[in-house]
Every structure is written in C-alpha cells, then in structure tokens.
Amino acid sequence: MFKIVTPHGQYLTNQEYIVNEKGQLCQQCNINTAYTFSDGWKFLGIEHVKRNQFIPFETLKTWTAEQFESFDWCYKNGNPQWTVRDLDHGSTRTWGNTKHHGIKYMRREKA
C-alpha cells in the first residue's frame, strides 16, 4: 500500500490518501476507520505540475522506500511539484490547485 499526503485538507491540515496494490484510492478520514476501496476510484500515477512528465502507478510499484524518500516532491518554497492523475468513475482527472492538492510526499505503507 502507498500513502499520499497533500499539504492541506478540509481543516488546513495534511490530507492523506491510501492506494492499495490494485491502484484503488481511499481517502483516510479517520485513523480508526477501516479503509473502503472500490474500482470506481483508481490511482493512475503522478504528474509533474509544469513539465510534461508522468510516472505511472506500475512504475511507482517498483520503487524502493529509499527512492520515495529521496524524490523531490516539492519545490524549495514548499509547493508541490507533483500531483495525482486518477480515474474517477470513468473520467480521467489531474488534481488541480496543486498548492493545496499536490503531493507533499508519498511513501510505501505496510498493509
């Protein structure tokens, strides 16, 4: 499993999303709540906010923990360089307003 953390959520705190090995996304609202995954919301990969660069989920699955830790997720000013591309009930989307919904960091999680 993977965890994606964005800079701001509903209450101006970090917002966390979980991606399982099938690429299904789940928003982590409460640490005590079980994850609910479905094929209706799929993680496709990460996209750079300025360059025409996309890293698919299948590639990210091969990364080591060290690769995630050493990756430049944000610019020097703290704004995210990367955002999420997903498939939400048949529509491919790229998360906008990357200052708030870009990727602060992403890492592997134990299932």
**pLDDT at residue 10 above 60?**
no
Q: Collapsing DSSP states into helix, strand and coil, what is residue 66?
A: helix
Question: Domain coordinates of the chain in residue numbers?
Answer: 2-108
Residues 42-94: tens digit of each pLDDT: 999 999 999 999 999 999 999 999 999 999 999 999 999 999 999 999 999 99
In the prediction, which pLDDT does 25 show? 94
- The DSSP symbol for 19 reads E
**Number of neighbouring beta carbons within 10 Å of residue 30:** 6
Give the C-alpha distances (Å, rounded to integers) separating 93 from 41, 43, 47, 97. Answer: 11, 10, 11, 13
d(CA 69, CA 58): 18
Residues near 38 by beta carbon (within 8 Å), at least 6 away in sequence: 24
